[in-house]
Amino acid sequence: MLNNTENELLKSHYWGPSAEVTSVPCYFVNGYNFQTERQNTEKSTMNYGVCVKSSSYTDVDNDFYGIIKEIIQLTYLIPDLHIILFKCRWVDPVRGMKVHPRYYLFDVNFKKLYLKDEIFILAQQTVQVYFTRYPTFKRDKADWLAVAKVKARRVVDESK
């Protein structure tokens, strides 16, 4: 027997989200402050890099790396029930990613994109990363960016 709260939740999922969606510039989840790439254009920080773990948590070579293009909020009929999706541009994990075999350092190339239709992820699935250029003039590194994982914070420092 379902109680009233569970019954309302099932009804809400049955009918699906509202036809109206909201686009937001930032979202805090998993200890990270995520922002869209456009929101970060004039900032010295990078809060739009994401990593999604592969289905096998032991196989780090198959993680997906991307850039948040849009943060979308789906609203359901039940008040305060929202689902946040990140619309991302993904690096091709085969052609656009290199892994240093000894140190597990990751490099990505955003000129080699993953062209599948799977551009959305749930915000809760992500960890934050940032991408940095190599300090070199060598042509073989020109399009490649090093990946750095970001340590999660417990709270957002709103004083800044």
pLDDT in tens, 49-58: 999 987 655 5
For the record, the structure tokens of 34 come out as 């995520």
On whether the pTM is more than 0.85, the answer is: no
- Tokens matching residue 1: 């027997």
Task: Give per-residue pLDDT as tens, 21-60.
Answer: 889 999 999 999 999 999 888 777 889 999 998 765 555 5
Structure tokens at 42: 């004039």
